Structures are given as structure tokens and as C-alpha cells.
Structure 1
Amino acid sequence: MNSRRMWTASAAAVAGALLLAGCGGGDTDEPDAGTDPTVEDVAADEPTEEETTEEPESTFDVDAIDFGEPGAVTAPGSALALGQVAWVERTVTFSDDTEVTGTQGISVLQIIESDASLFEQYSNADEFADYIPYLIVTQQQWTGDVPADENPPSADLFPLLADGADAEYLTTQFSFNSPGDACGLELPPFDEETNTAVSCFVGLSNSDQPVSAVEYNGEGYYSFVATPGNLYLESPIVWQ
């Protein structure tokens, strides 16, 4: 568990295409004398009911959303709704010491209240007796270069309680004995073409304050000294 400041919401719905019946012009000649159009004839001339195609149901618990093209850098202190996208510029040092500056798209898709059964996988489950877990599903997209044999970077996010205080959290960044990057949810796989990842970490509350927000403050889980010139530390981007 960690508590320290220092990769939903709904997917965009795509309307099904309407298949409209053709309405061609009829013959303008008068009908033969002594004949009246039958009920069947009238029914045949009426336009058919519009047909719609339905989108297939998703197989995922939370779907990825379309970030679109990178936008302007999101200002420090911005308040966003779940599913809205923040764009930030980051300089990342990869394991071969290659330094790359790129644009990162970040969104918090959902914050889902879970239950204590999540802790049953731990040998020390009793230590979580007073905690309520919250599944925090995020999506991130890296648009910069990635050296060979390296993975696109992800930005670390931090949960907040309803009163704005820092919440504790669980993440695979610290231990292999963790809920994993899916939190037991069915999430879309990593998209290698767009460098888009949907993942999950667990926020914790042991008070009457739920985990209801998530912040990006420009620092990482391992940060001990603030990054010089980081304006997001005092004015983070917050989703809620």
C-alpha cells in the first residue's frame, strides 16, 4: 500500500447505418377504367420500415475509447470528467539511456467500487479487513518514438478520496504479488499499431470517503524528489 502525492466513462457510441427503402417515382398513367387498386397493391407501394444494423456487443468489461489526434497540451489544474483525454508532453529515459520526448494521451475511463473478495489472493488478506477496493481503469497512448525492444512508457496516476485527500493504492509497479494490470476485469489487449494500453490499478479507502478521483501530477511512483519545473505537482490534472 502506498500513499504519496508527488496509464471508461463510456466508449463513444457509433450509430448503426440506416438502410432506407428506395422511393422511386411511379407510373403517371391513369389506371384502366373500371379497375380499383386493391389493398395488396396499396400495401406494396408503401415504404418499407427502416432497418438498422446493431453494433456487436463488447466482450470487454471496459472498452477502449478513441483518443483521436493529439491535441494541445492540457493545462495544469485542469478538471476532467471520466473518459476525457489529457495530452501531456513527457521526456522519458529508456533502459538503454535513450532519452525521448513525446506526447502522452491519458484518460481515466472508470472508477469501480469492488469488494473485499479481491484481497483473498493475498496471504495477508486480514490486513485489508477495513479497506474497500476501487478498480481504476485507465487508458494511455504514447505518440513518441520507442527504441527497439522497449515498451511504450506509461504515466503514473494517483487515486484521491472524495474530500481530495490522497488515497492508498495497490499497483504492479511495486510487487509481483498484486491484483495485476487488469484487476480481474476483461480489458482490451495492447494495441501495437497505436501504442494504446488499457490497464487497471486498485485504489483503497478505509474511511467513509470513497475513492472518487484520480490525478496526474507529473511524478512517478518511485519519485522522491520533485522534477524541476514540474507545474503539475502543485496543480495536477484531476479526473472525477
Structure 2
Amino acid sequence: MSAAAVAGVLLLAGCGGGTEEPETGTDPTVADAAAEEPEEPAQEETTEEPESTYDVDAIDFGDPAAVTAPGTPLTLGQVAWVERTVTFGETEVTGTQGISVLQITESDPSLFDQYSNADEFADYVPYLIVTQQQWVGDVPEDETPPSADLFPLLADGADAEYLTSQFSFNSPGDECGLELPPFDESTGTAVSCFVGLSNSGQPVNGVEYNGEGYYSFVATPGNLYLEQPIIWQ
């Protein structure tokens, strides 16, 4: 506003007439006003990150932390670290596994239309459960890192039924129709999906790690997680 006001005064003074020639050079009044004008701050260049092409993105687990204690409650996206001993053929390997539940989303019952026995699911509501796991340890050549089995829970804490390709061929696959990141061989990170089922009117809103597998019929001796599972909710 200062520079504009000064310029206006000079213009009016010039219109008043006079015989003296104007001095050449920069008018000091204008120069002073220009010097007082605040400089525009430099605009920082910003680079927009490309939008993800996945329905659910993998998260960074960071470095392995201390083993998560039995009974620890977690929220979606938080990471549990557990120590597991798994068998590859005749080779037994002990390693650390990072586990997280990224998302639990109610889906449409039309998901069951792909099954020949779709009528058996008439009263069920499916929930897509996206998980991420990372194995930290040696894996024999031509083998894939193991995954820990997880189990869905209803809102009241009761066990929910489920569909998973690890347990049944009658499943929506490990992607549940979602676009998920591929397996990362460099970090041993896998993002996958299974389906929790509810026919009780209660939502599936939790997932537990209890240290057992889908095929377990006898509890593993010394498994403290069976009675005190890690629960994401």
C-alpha cells in the first residue's frame, strides 16, 4: 500500500505543471518505499507422492522388538513380535515373527456367490481381515517364510467362524478380491487376507494370535498364548 500511495502523489504533482525539468535518475522517495516492501517468502518445492494402487498398503514394522507378552491388547496396525519354531521338511528353524492386523472391513454377502454351496452362507455376514507378517530368520532354499495362523473374534469376545485358503479350498483366496502388495522377498513381508464370518448379529471386530494353528488338535506344551492370546481390536 505504501508504494501505491507514493506513486499516486508523484503523478498528481506532475500534472500541476511547472517549468523545471524533472531530475534524472531514481526518485529517492520511490526507492525508499520499494526498499520497505516486504519480500515474498520463497516457495518451497513440494513433491507429491504417487497415490497407492493398493486397497491396503503394507506398513513399516521397523526393527524387531522384544517379544510381545501373552495377553497384550493391541489396536489395528500395531505390531506384535513373537518367537516361533517351525519345521521345513526335516529342518527345524527358530525365528522371530512380526504380526499385525491392518484392517477389518464388513463386506457384501455377494462374496459367497462364487461357491457352489452359497446357500449355506445365507445368514452370514463376511468381514475382510487384512494382516501383515514378517519372518526374521533363516529359511531353507526353495521354501517360503511361515505364517502364523490368526483367528477372528466377535464383538463379545467369542470365537467367530472364518474362511481361509490355509485351512479350506472353499475360500476367497489370500486377497479376498482386494489389491494387496505382493510378497516382498527382500524383507520377508507378506500382506494377505482371510474372511471372518458372523451370523449372530454381532460384528467381527477382533483378531487373536494364540500360538496354535488351524490344524492344531492338541495344545502345544508351554504355549502361554493359548490362555492369554494377543488380541487386535
**2:102 aligned with 1:100, yes or no?**
no
Change (3 A) 1:157 1:40: farther
Q: Which runs of 4+ in 1 moved over 4 A?
A: 38-44
Tell me the amino acid that sits aligned with residue 200 of structure 1: C
Structure 2 counterpart of 1:79: 73
Change (3 A) 1:186 1:39: farther
Which residue among 59, 65, 75 is the counterpart of 2:59? 65
In 2: Cα distance, 1:208 partner to 1:39 partner: 74
In 2: Cα distance, 1:62 partner to 1:119 partner: 22
**2:39 aligned with 1:52, yes or no?**
no
In 1: Cα distance, 2:50 partner to 2:32 partner: 41
Which residue among 185, 188, 196 is the counterpart of 1:203? 196
Tell me the amino acid that sits aligned with residue 133 of structure 2: Q
- Identity of counterpart residues, as a percentage? 81
Q: TM-score, structure 1 length as denominator? A: 0.82
Structure 2 counterpart of 1:179: 172
Query: Whose helix fraction is larger, Structure 1's or Structure 2's?
Result: 2
**2:182 aligned with 1:189, yes or no?**
yes
Which SS does the other structure have where 1:90 is aligned?
strand
Q: How does 1:10-159 map to 2 (within 5 A)?
A: 34=28, 36-37=30-31, 45-95=39-89, 97-159=90-152
Q: TM-score, structure 2 length as denominator? A: 0.85
Tell me the amino acid that sits aligned with residue 58 of structure 1: S
Change (3 A) 1:50 1:232: same
**2:215 aligned with 1:227, yes or no?**
no
The Cα of 1:168 is off from its aligned counterpart by 0.1
The Cα of 1:114 is off from its aligned counterpart by 0.2
> How many pairs are equivalent?
209
In 2: Cα distance, 1:146 partner to 1:237 partner: 25
Give the aligned CA root-mean-square deviation in angstroms.
2.0
Tell me the amino acid that sits aligned with residue 86 of structure 1: A
Stretches of structure 1 that go unaligned for 5 or more consecutive residues are 1-30
Stretches of structure 2 that go unaligned for 5 or more consecutive residues are 1-24
Structure 2 counterpart of 1:239: 232
